Structure formats: C-alpha cells, structure tokens
Chain A
Amino acid sequence: MNNYENNKIGIFKNNPVLGLSLGLTTALAVTTSLTSAVGMGIIMMLLLYVTSIVCGIVKKIVSDTFVLPVNLVIIAFLVKLTELLVMAYAPIISDGVGIFLPLLVSSSLLLFGAGTFNNEEDRVGNLLGVSVRSGLAYFFAIVLVALIREILGTGAISFVDPFSGIQLFSFTFIPTDYVLNLFVQPAGALLVVGLVAALFAAIGNIKKAAVKGGK
C-alpha cells in the first residue's frame, strides 16, 4: 500500500465496505436483519484478526509468488472451520447469513486483511492493525446498513439471541401500512449502501478538511 498513512483504513475514511468496496457482497446480502448483520460483522472481525496473524506469520517464510495460494488455502480453511462452528453453536446466524458465510472464502476483504495485496514487508503487527480497523469499520458499516434497511423495510427492529433463538428486543417504529418493501429487497440494499457510502465519504471529507484547517 503506497503512502500508507494517506490510505489508512477508518470508519468514515476508506471504509473497506463503503469506500473500498471490499466485502461488498455480504454487506448487500446479509443486511436484511440486524441479527444477521451483527453475526456476520463479528464473524468477519474474528476471521480478519486470525487471518492477519496466521497469514502474517506464513508471509515471513513463503516467497512472494507463493503468498497468494497459501493465503487462499488458509482463508478457505478458516472460513470452513468458522462455518462448522457457527452451524453447530449459532444456527440462527447460520440460517440468517446462509450461503454468504461459506462464500467468505473468496472475500476480497479477507485477502486484504491477509496482506495479499501488500507488496511491502509488513510486520504481523501492522497487518493485525489494519485488520482490527477493517473489522471494526466493516462491522459498523453493515450494522448501520442493516438498521436502516430493517426499519424502513419492516417498520421494526428486532434482535435475536444467535445461540438460543430467543428474541432479545423488538421495537416498532413505522406502522406496517407505511413500510417500504423495497428496502428488504436487493435494490433497497444497493440504495442504502450507496446512500450510507455517500454519507460516510462526506463525513470523512469534513474531518479531513478540519484536520487540514487545524494544521
């Protein structure tokens, strides 16, 4: 990553999902409910952290030409293991995210977190730092998108315990007659992701301008 500091991952600036379009498929697919989005957010964060540590270590002993295939094997392994654990202990999340959990094998965000696109000799600590920020930014982005979609699309927001399936809370904001079904459909996902991305970019630019002004 050239000029690393200028391209630093943040929630508003260079958000991996909304700014860099990494992991965008899941952001569109699993954000129909808050429960699925939180579940996928946590899964992605944990996978990013483990991936960055394991791939960071492997990168030290493998030459650059072999980094990509080794990283792909490690990511596929970690994703499959996560899928099995989620199916066994959090079936609500497994049902909610469906095929998009095993599809994380090809997630560009995980490859990014593994340092696959970075030609520089990064230390494991640096990779982990990028992954922590990416994971948090991803989590924040998809939870916000899910909140907007669920409220506008169903009129209510609810959260289910992923382990027991018991509903922890549910609030109704919009009467059923006034909800917009569009927002639970793929077109609504694109619309909300686009709007939230624009909002984040605007906030990121304002913050950047404020920092420049301060200097």
Chain B
Amino acid sequence: MKNSMAKNIVILLVTVLLSGGILIFAESKLAFTIKNQAVAQDLGTLQKFFPGVEEFSVVDFVDETGLVKKVYEAKDTGYAYIVENQGYKDKLVFAVALDNEGTIKGYEVTRFNDTDGIGSKIKDEPFVNSIVGKTSTDAFATISGATISCTAIIVGLDAVKDNYNAMKGIVDDGTSTPEVVVPVDPPVELGSSIMIFREVSEKRQGTITDKQIEGDIETYTVTVSGYAVLEGDHGEPIPNTVIIKLNKQSKTILSVEVTVASDTKNIGTQITNATFLDQFKDLSYADETVEADTISGATVSSTSVINAILAAIQASK
C-alpha cells in the first residue's frame, strides 16, 4: 500500500514537473510569435496613425475599467490604444493614437454594428474632428441623436486618457469643457416630381393656423398630416408644421421652412434638409403645371410639405 502511494505521488510529481517544463519551453519559443501576431492584427491601423514608423511593440498595462484591450508603442513616436465598449446594439471597437506630447493623432472605429445614420455619427467627420488634435486632458462631447454610441466612445477615451496620463505622469484636473459637436445632415436624395397644383384628399390637405401679411409678402403657418399621422407611425402622432412665405404680386414662393417634423426619425425628418427646401426658393407658381421633387425614401413626408405649400397658395388667392 505504501509503495503504491509513493508510486502515485511520484507519478503526480513527474506529471507536474514535465508539464511545467514543457510549458516553460513552449512559452519561451512562442512568446515572440504571439507578440508579433498581436501587432500584426492591428498593423494597418497602427501604420495609418504613425506613417513611416516600422517598429511597434505591445505594452503591458493595467486598466481598471476593462475597456482598453491593447496598448502599442510606436517607437519614439507615441502610443496607440485598442478600446472596446458596449454600443447601442453591439460592442464598438475603436483605435486611438497619442503622440509623446499627449496630443491625439488619430481615431478610428474598427468595429461598428450600431444604427446607420444615427450611431454611425461616431465615424463622421464632425465627431472625428472633435477628438483628433485634442490632448489627453481635454474633455469630449456627445452628438445629439447618437448619445449611446458617442458615450461608449467617450467613456473609452476617458479610460485611454487615464492610462496615458498615469503612464506619462500628466495631471488631468478635469476642468476641460467639451466642445459642442454639430452633426452633419446626411445628403438627401431627391426622387420623383409631383405637380404642386393637384387634387389632394381631405386628410392630406394642409390647415392654415396662422397668416401674416406685410404688403405683397404673405406668411402662412400650415399644419399638415405627414407619415406619422397618415400611417399611424407613432403612439400619438402629430402633424408636420411648415411656414411658407409667398409673394402674392409676383406669384413666387420666397421660402419654405419646416418647424415641426414629426415623422420617422432620419427618414421623414429629412424634410428639414436644405437640399429639399431650397428647390422652392423663388419658385414661380403662376404656371399651375409647376412641379416639385419629393425625397426618395420619404415620399409621404415630402409630399406633405408640398401639400402645405398648396394650401398656402390656395389661401393667398
């Protein structure tokens, strides 16, 4: 029995020592390959941030937030961080680079599955420009309408700043005020044309809620049913509101402004876009065959604006 016990203990010890020895050997042989693989995965991004730099190395780091996944050092140039945080729908991954003076040299979203047109604003120029060029002590602002995705990025950036400042001994007093980021409206694609003067069903007609006259200039405030009202898009739909300025004498539309766009966000709300509204500027309605373009993908909403214009023209006659 004693012999058996001793034999078993020896086998266990041999197993432990043999396993440990092989693992130490394997780790020493594979360590270089593993580090190179880590760099290779992000090499494209790193070279974009630090053009001309050929030597990148993995930096060991401590991040209490758990958001910073990798830190690289670009030899004698700066540092790049790979950060992951939960976005609106899925995890967002982005890379950010700082030079040795603490200036942010680059920012790029490498994994994005949030909503196009909303969350995707974190990849657009205004937001990128609000980050690149700033320093490790600056604060960052979210973009209205993309708060969740922006917050995920900003929280990640804060983790990067903390890590970088701790590494470089920089003190962030937290007094920096974030710069307001103004998003750029996505381009509107105009679709088919419809006649302004045409038969419009009662539920689609505009209702004049206000009228102001200054000489030949007449300003009408019109409420009109858009997609939200006609298709019951929301729980308590409200109509769109359009302000139309007409020159009664010359029979021209001076301006059209949408003050309330209550249709589907980023689709129906495109009726506020200047590309669509500018087509009405100085448009003559003396000829009743005059046409206007609708917005591709937002036909009901854009037609509602044209219906509001028709109501204003008819009211001015």
Which chain A residue lies CB-closest to B86? Answer: A185
A49-89 interface bits toward B, Cβ cutoff 8 Å, 1 = contact, 0 = none: 00000000010011101100110011011001100110111
A76 proximity list for chain B (CB < 8 A): 19
A69 proximity list for chain B (CB < 8 A): 12
Question: What are 20 inter-chain pairs, A to B, with CB distance below 8 A?
Answer: A62-B11, A66-B8, A66-B9, A70-B15, A73-B12, A73-B16, A74-B19, A76-B19, A77-B15, A77-B19, A77-B23, A84-B23, A85-B30, A87-B34, A88-B34, A91-B41, A154-B113, A165-B41, A181-B89, A181-B90
Does A176 have its Cβ within 8 Å of any Cβ on chain B?
yes
Does B27 have its Cβ within 8 Å of any Cβ on chain A?
yes
Leading 8 A-B pairs by shortest Cβ distance: A77-B19, A66-B8, A88-B33, A91-B37, A88-B30, A87-B34, A88-B34, A73-B15
Q: Is the CB of A70 within 8 A of B11?
A: yes
Which chain A residue lies CB-closest to B70? Answer: A95
Does A111 have its Cβ within 8 Å of any Cβ on chain B?
no
Does B212 have its Cβ within 8 Å of any Cβ on chain A?
no
Q: Is the CB of A58 within 8 A of B90?
A: no
Does A151 have its Cβ within 8 Å of any Cβ on chain B?
no
Q: Is the CB of A91 within 8 A of B19?
A: no
Q: Is the CB of B23 within 8 A of A81?
A: yes
Q: Is the CB of B4 within 8 A of A77?
A: no
Does B195 have its Cβ within 8 Å of any Cβ on chain A?
no
Q: How large is the interface on A (under 10, 10 to 19, 20 to 34, 35 or more residues)?
A: 20 to 34
Q: Is the CB of A88 within 8 A of B8?
A: no
Does A148 have its Cβ within 8 Å of any Cβ on chain B?
no
A181 proximity list for chain B (CB < 8 A): 89-90
> B143 → chain A, closest Cβ, in Å?
20
Given contacts A58-B11, A87-B34, 13 further A-B contacts (CB under 8 A): A70-B15, A73-B15, A73-B16, A84-B23, A88-B33, A89-B33, A89-B37, A91-B37, A91-B41, A92-B41, A95-B41, A165-B41, A181-B90
A163-192 interface bits toward B, Cβ cutoff 8 Å, 1 = contact, 0 = none: 001000000000010000100100000000
Does B182 have its Cβ within 8 Å of any Cβ on chain A?
no
Inter-chain CA distance A89–B116, complex, in Å, is 34
Inter-chain CA distance A92–B40, complex, in Å, is 11
Contacting A at CB under 8 A, from B34-93, are 34, 37-38, 40-41, 89-90
Q: Is the CB of A77 within 8 A of B41?
A: no
> A9 → chain B, closest Cβ, in Å?
27
Residues of chain A touching chain B, judged by Cβ–Cβ distance below 8 Å, are: 58, 61-63, 65-66, 69-70, 73-74, 76-77, 80-81, 84-85, 87-89, 91-92, 95, 154, 165, 176, 181, 184
Q: How large is the interface on B (under 10, 10 to 19, 20 to 34, 35 or more residues)?
A: 20 to 34
Q: Is the CB of B12 within 8 A of A70?
A: yes
A85 proximity list for chain B (CB < 8 A): 26, 30
Contact of A84 among B4, B34, B40 (CB under 8 A): B34
Does B22 have its Cβ within 8 Å of any Cβ on chain A?
yes
Q: Is the CB of A63 within 8 A of B30?
A: no
Q: Is the CB of B8 within 8 A of A74?
A: no
A66 proximity list for chain B (CB < 8 A): 8-9, 11-12
> A36 → chain B, closest Cβ, in Å?
13
Which chain B residue lies CB-closest to A77? Answer: B19
> A183 → chain B, closest Cβ, in Å?
11
Given A88-B30, A91-B38, A181-B90 in contact, is the A81-B22 Cβ separation under 8 Å?
Answer: yes
Inter-chain CA distance A184–B115, complex, in Å, is 16
Given A70-B12, A91-B38 in contact, is the A63-B90 Cβ separation under 8 Å?
Answer: no
> A152 → chain B, closest Cβ, in Å?
13
Which chain A residue lies CB-closest to B16? Answer: A73
Q: Is the CB of A176 within 8 A of B116?
A: yes
Inter-chain CA distance A154–B8, complex, in Å, is 52
Q: Is the CB of A81 within 8 A of B37?
A: no
B116 proximity list for chain A (CB < 8 A): 176
Q: Is the CB of B27 within 8 A of A84?
A: yes
